[in-house]
Structure 1
Amino acid sequence: MDFDLSSAKKIHIIFNYHNGLYGSPQIKFILNRTMQISWSKIARYMRILVLKSKIRVKKDLKNKMRLKNVIVVILILLIANEIFTKKINCEQLMLPI
């Protein structure tokens, strides 16, 4: 693996400047203004330098959002099926058809 010391220094400086709040996506956004570096390389350098962002997305929140989106899609499909089979009158849904 090729370890670029200048890129690692830049990542460390940006991370410390923002008090450890920026993760690899935000650091990539800043660094891509001056140089091309991939998100995975930044994440790898952060792991090597033991830099962890203080702000994290909770995994449970992600799962709840996915579940909520699935439930909404299922409800839309059920309503569409009821409309298609004419079990629900269009006036009940206030749809102009």
Structure 2
Amino acid sequence: MEKKHQIDFDLSLAKKIQIIFNYHDGLYGSPRIKFILNRTMQISQSKIARYMRILGLKSRIRVKKRFKKPVEIKKCNSGYTNIVNRHEIFIKKMNCE
């Protein structure tokens, strides 16, 4: 005997999710929408994800930018890590340039 899962689709919740998603230009996924909605009502992230799947909402994934060190710092990275010998680090950096 198969179990039939009932999906209770709440239109007011679906509208709230749609409004938040569109207001933030499609950048917010279910975790961020959950954070906003939990200020007023208690709702799980999986339920929000399910509603987003039914509504056809997918958040755009932002590419995180990485910091690259300048070439000069990479080449001249030999120096003391001891704080007491700061003047020697300064002298070595002056010699590298």
More helix by share: 1
What is the SS of the residue equivalent to 1:33? Answer: coil
1:7 pairs with 2:13 = yes
What is the letter of the counterpart of residue 19 of structure 1?
A: D
What is the letter of the counterpart of residue 3 of structure 1?
A: F
User: What fraction of aligned residue pairs are identical, expressed as a percent?
Assistant: 86
Alignment CA distance shift 1:17-1:37 (3 Å): same
User: Could you list the runs of 5+ residues in structure 1 that have no partner in the other structure?
Assistant: 58-97
Runs of 4+ aligned structure 1 residues displaced above 2 Å come to none
Match of 2:71 in 1: none
Q: 2:41 aligns with which of 32, 35, 45?
A: 35
Larger radius of gyration: 2
Count of equivalent residues: 57
Q: CA deviation at 1:56?
A: 6.1
Task: Please list, as runs of the form range in 1=range in 2, the aligned pairs for 1:1-97 lying within 5 A after superposition.
Answer: 1-55=7-61
- The two structures have a TM-score, normalised by structure 1, of 0.56
Question: 2-side partners of 1:31 and 1:55: how far apart?
Answer: 21
Question: 1-side partners of 2:29 and 2:62: how far apart?
Answer: 9
- The two structures have a TM-score, normalised by structure 2, of 0.56
Q: CA deviation at 1:55?
A: 1.3
